[in-house]
């Protein structure tokens, strides 16, 4: 495969393929394992992810890349094969989450800044050596009374731009993820408020990317969909699709090869339905696909429940969700396909 940034970015959003976000931090994966009563150890985390990466049909047909956590990129499968090599063998691309998480932003109550720029150049060189060809950095923007502020939006956009420039210098495609949260407090904002904030955030992010001389052809955007607050959900599928497309058309340059949505608090089926509606009903200058974590994995995790004898069931559940989202990425998903399964 070509090592040009533009070619890697195009491969990441190939027709009917999307990105598996398997980059849960140790804390997050522990919560997910707690829910299925499995102890979170280095081995149990490896076993779980190996199950996903060895799901041949899902990985070869529907998944273009996998975002890994630092630990996972360094882990080997039970038979000694590096997990990154399993991903490559399936024709998928290994990637790496490089941010150090969102921390409270000094002087900005209720807002956060993502840390992890210190030493990033050196870490990216190491990750490249371990096989990663794309990376991810998430900036988190909350909606509340008087929030977000310009200061928080600007600082998060600058951090995303600096990260993206460092990635490209290292031969790594940056996934730029500015997430406007649907939860938070009181999470009762309207879909129009989400649209207004997301448009402002994306415009600011692209201004900063331009100023940092980031090549737009060699990056992927990972935004939230335009959706009402978690405690005010009433917008239907068509409204979410229409408003999301409108905001993207107003802010995202056509030079960007693709947009891979996060699922952010949506149910598995909602995330699939919204994506499919956008691809079915709108003519767009970029590929629209998925970069889901929970919405691809929840059913598989439940089916597996930490038991060796359930690996095949876990893989079937993962493959089903991957196939549904693959259909959504080309705009041909239908609700009845879920029932058939």
Q: How far apart are CA 259 and CA 254, in angstroms?
A: 11
Q: Measured between alpha carbons, how far is residue 249 from residues 72, 215, 238, 242 in Å?
A: 36, 19, 16, 11
**Is 222 part of the annotated catalytic residue set?**
yes
Q: In the structure encoding, which two tokens stand for residue 186, read together? A: 């009181």
Q: What is the pLDDT along the chain (341 residues), one digit of tens a residue?
A: 568 999 999 999 999 999 999 999 999 999 999 999 999 999 999 999 999 999 999 999 999 999 999 999 999 999 999 999 999 999 999 999 999 999 999 999 999 999 999 999 999 999 999 999 999 999 999 999 999 999 999 999 999 999 999 999 999 999 999 999 999 889 999 999 999 999 999 999 999 999 999 999 999 999 999 999 999 999 999 999 999 999 999 999 999 999 999 999 999 999 999 999 999 999 999 999 999 999 999 999 999 999 999 999 999 999 999 999 999 999 999 999 998 76
pLDDT in tens, 65-111: 999 999 999 999 999 999 999 999 999 999 999 999 999 999 999 99
pLDDT of residue 341: 65
The CATH code belonging to domain 5-340 is 3.20.20.70
CA torsion, points 61, 66, 71, 73, in degrees to nearest 10?
80
Q: How far apart are CA 8 and CA 104, in angstroms?
A: 34
Catalytic residue among 17, 97, 222, 287: 222
Q: Which pTM does this prediction carry?
A: 0.97
Q: What is the CA radius of gyration of the chain?
A: 19
- Would you kindly state where each structural domain of the chain is located, as residue ranges? 5-340
Catalytic residue among 24, 50, 177, 179: 177
Q: Which ranges of the chain would DSSP assign to H, the alpha helix?
A: 5-12, 26-35, 42-53, 56-57, 70-74, 83-89, 120-129, 150-169, 191-211, 237-251, 268-281, 294-304, 311-329, 335-340
């Amino acid at each position: 495969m070509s090592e040009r940034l533009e070619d890697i970015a195009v491969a990441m959003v190939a027709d009917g393929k999307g990105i598996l976000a398997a980059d849960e931090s140790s804390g997050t994966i522990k919560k997910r394992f707690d829910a299925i009563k499995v102890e979170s150890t280095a081995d149990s985390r490896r076993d779980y992810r190996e199950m996903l990466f060895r799901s041949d049909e899902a990985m070869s047909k529907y998944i273009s890349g996998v975002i890994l956590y630092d630990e996972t990129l360094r882990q080997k499968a039970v038979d000694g094969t590096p997990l990154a090599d399993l991903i490559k063998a399936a024709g998928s691309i290994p990637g790496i989450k490089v941010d150090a998480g969102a921390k409270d932003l000094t002087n900005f109550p209720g807002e956060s800044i993502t840390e992890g720029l210190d030493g990033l150049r050196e870490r990216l060189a190491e990750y490249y050596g371990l096989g990663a060809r794309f990376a991810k950095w998430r900036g988190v923007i909350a909606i509340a009374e008087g929030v977000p502020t310009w200061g928080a939006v600007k600082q998060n956009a600058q951090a995303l731009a600096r990260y993206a420039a460092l990635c490209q210098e290292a031969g790594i495609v940056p996934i730029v993820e500015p997430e406007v949260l649907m939860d938070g407090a009181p999470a009762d904002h309207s879909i129009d408020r989400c649209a207004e904030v997301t448009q402002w955030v994306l415009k600011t992010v692209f201004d900063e990317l331009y100023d940092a001389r980031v090549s737009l052809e060699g990056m992927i955007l990972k935004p939230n969909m335009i959706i009402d607050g978690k405690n005010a959900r009433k917008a239907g599928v068509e409204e979410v699709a229409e408003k999301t497309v409108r905001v993207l058309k107003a802010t995202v340059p056509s030079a960007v090869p693709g947009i891979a949505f996060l699922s952010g608090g949506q149910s598995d089926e909602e995330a699939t339905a919204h994506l499919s509606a956008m691809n079915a009903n709108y003519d767009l200058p970029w590929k629209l696909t998925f970069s889901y974590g929970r919405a691809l994995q929840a059913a598989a995790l439940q089916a597996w429940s930490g038991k060796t004898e359930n690996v095949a069931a876990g893989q079937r559940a993962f493959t089903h969700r991957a196939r549904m989202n693959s259909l959504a990425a080309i705009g041909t998903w239908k609700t009845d396909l879920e029932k058939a399964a």
